[in-house]
Chain A
Amino acid sequence: MNRIAFETLFAALPSPHNILDHDLNFVAVNPAYEAVTMRSADQLIGRNMFECFPNEGDGGRRLRESLLGVLSSGEPDTIAYIEYEIARRDGSMERRFWTAVHNPLRDAEGRVLFVLQNTVDITELVLLREAASVPFTDVPSEVALVQRALEAEAASETNRSESENFRRLFQGAPGLMAVLQGADHVFTFANDDFARFVGDRPVLGLPVRTALPGAADAGLFESLERVRSSGRPERHEALPIAMTRAGGEVPATVYVDVTFSPIRDGRGEVSGILVQGSDRTEAVMAQRRERLWADELNHRVKNTLATVQSLARQSFTEAGAPPQVKSTFEGRIIALSKAHDLLSESHWAAVDLAALLRPAEATIAANGNPPVQLNPKAAIALAMLFHELRATIPADMDGQLLGDVEINWSRHNGARLKIIWVARNLPPVWQSERKLQTRMLKRLVEGELDGRMDCDEGGDGFTCEICIPMREVEEDAAAGGGH
């Protein structure tokens, strides 16, 4: 066997090592130690450890005692858990936790010349342990091993078993539940529903970005950062996330309602985040299907109206009806179709009364008329009513009504809706050709809407006064309408 180059071996050790003399000055450091302390060998060798890493606190005292003890007694010593801040490159201090193993290095005569220190940065593990303050903490087994060692330093077994009970309780609870710890948001707990939701992939011990890369586009990681830094919970509704489910190969979009709540440690600092959520995929998909279905139905209705229009047109032509019959019929079909448009835009909820007016009429009616929300039944009835009224008023090519038209409405004691159409100074063609077709109007107002209509025709125009009980008109009545 080749003679081992001990320097090479020392340099190759993956775990951080250093060698100190009796003055606690660095004699040697390996690259792993350089990396973890963020210092180069040049900055360390020949200098005192406590000059390089000052620590006036308990951690510094325990470390110094252990090192000096090894040098004087020649017996190895281990510090399982020590808190020791180190300076970042930018000068700010970072709180870190370490395990330190101290071994004496002797010369041929057995005299202790140096102490070999092996330090392991266990900050992540300690933060995981802090998560044990959360009742439902679960940790990977390798972490658990170290955790037991740490607990030997201080912890109480009672807390641990209580924690186990809580953990079991939440494990099977319905709804998505997980706990993230540390700056990288490492999963330390995920209940059964959560595991199923993410397709039974391993998440425990993994940072959220590694475990759920599909959540990147949804902005969840940014949200977690905000919760961690602000300490305020955030909630997201029906959030789309690309996720490969169990058995699936291609990521599918799933939807979640999710809340991130900060978890605070004993000092009140945010140490982790509680994730609570519910899978809304089914509900969102159902809503989409319903929407598509409604759009399709609306389209069908339009085509059906066009078909009816066509049938009527053929029938009128075959019967030699005058062209005006055709245009009157068409006008009515189109009015019905437009009312239908308004209702489908509002998803058959409510339509503003003013929306039933043509733009030219809306200008006339703009002043002082209160907003009135119509249920679908009233919207269709009033759309047809307005159409019949306007159809009797001559208009020019652009749809401007010829004559003085006034349209006003008001609520009477909140119980009745009163609408008044007045048309004056209509051109002579009105007097000779058009009269109000009151039969249809009366049927709409008095039959369908349980209201009252008074029309006064004469001279160069007409006045039409319509009074309808509010209960027949407003949105709430929708439940009873349309049947």
Chain B
Amino acid sequence: MQQLAAVTETSALEGLRVLVVEDESLVAMQLEDMLLDLGCAVVGPAMRLSRALEMAAEAGIDIAILDVNLGGERVYPVAQMIRDRKIPIVFATGYGRAGVDAVWHDCPILQKPYTENQLAEMMGLAMTPRTPA
């Protein structure tokens, strides 16, 4: 498929402060680059659960992108803190939807590997306030 136009209204993502939690350097680096391309400010990346918990508690962020598996530990405690702060979350995992606990299935899920467009789309989805059914 051709990249004829920027997919989601990336302008909506510009200036967002994004918490990146990802334990693999290269994947984290790429995510950082994509976010910078989209005009976002990167907070992190946090590559360990302990650091991620600190950042989730304190950092000034607008959205979080969370790898599910951090060196064998699950990212859910981090996700819970962020959800408690009412900040939107996107999960990124090699397992896809099946790799995320069902209680978090209302968050957008990115399957690795993903493109910048897919990232923007999922972030847009997370940032859209859900209308009650």
Contacts and interface: CB of A to CB of B under 8 A. Distances in A.
Interface of A: 295, 298-303, 305-311, 313-314, 317, 323-324, 327, 330-331, 333-334, 337, 341, 390-391, 394-397, 399, 429, 433-434
A391 B69 CA distance: 33
A69 B94 CA distance: 90
Looking at B7, B30, B113, which has the most chain A CB atoms within 10 Å of its CB? B113
Nearest to B34: A313
Given A303-B94, A309-B30, A314-B29, A330 B24 contact: no
A305 B113 contact: yes
B52 to A, nearest CB: 18
Main secondary structure of the interface of A (DSSP, over half): helix
Contact of B33 (A308, A313, A397): A313
Given A302-B111, A307-B24, A327-B3, A313 B94 contact: no
Given A305-B112, A341-B96, 7 more contacts: A305-B113, A307-B27, A333-B113, A334-B113, A395-B1, A397-B5, A433-B2
Which 4 interchain pairs have the tightest Cβ spacing? A302-B94, A310-B30, A306-B113, A306-B112
B4 interface: yes
Contacts of B113: 302, 305-306, 308-309, 330, 333-334, 337
Contact of A331 (B1, B26, B27): B1
Contacts of A302: 94-95, 111-113
Given A309-B113, A394-B2, A298 B30 contact: no
B3 A306 contact: no
A193 B127 CA distance: 62
B27 A295 contact: no
A397 B124 CA distance: 14
A331 B113 CA distance: 10
A399 B112 contact: no
A301 B4 CA distance: 30
25 contacts: A299-B94, A300-B94, A302-B113, A305-B112, A306-B24, A306-B26, A306-B30, A306-B112, A307-B27, A309-B113, A314-B26, A314-B33, A323-B3, A330-B116, A331-B1, A333-B113, A337-B111, A341-B111, A390-B1, A391-B2, A394-B2, A395-B4, A397-B5, A399-B1, A433-B2
Interface residues of B, number: 24
A327 B38 CA distance: 15
A395 B99 CA distance: 30
Interface in B4-51: 4-5, 7, 24, 26-27, 29-30, 33
A467 to B, nearest CB: 26
A307 to B, nearest CB: 5
Contacts of B99: 299
A434 B2 contact: yes
B31 to A, nearest CB: 8
Nearest to A307: B26
Interface in B83-133: 93-96, 99, 111-116
Nearest to A400: B1
B27 A317 contact: no
A67 B113 CA distance: 93
Contacts of A309: 30, 113
A299 B33 CA distance: 23
A482 to B, nearest CB: 21
Contact of A395 (B2, B24, B95): B2
Looking at B1, B5, B112, B114, which has the most chain A CB atoms within 10 Å of its CB? B1
Given A327-B3, A395-B2, A311 B26 contact: yes
Nearest to B27: A306
Looking at A305, A307, A341, A433, which has the most chain B CB atoms within 10 Å of its CB? A307
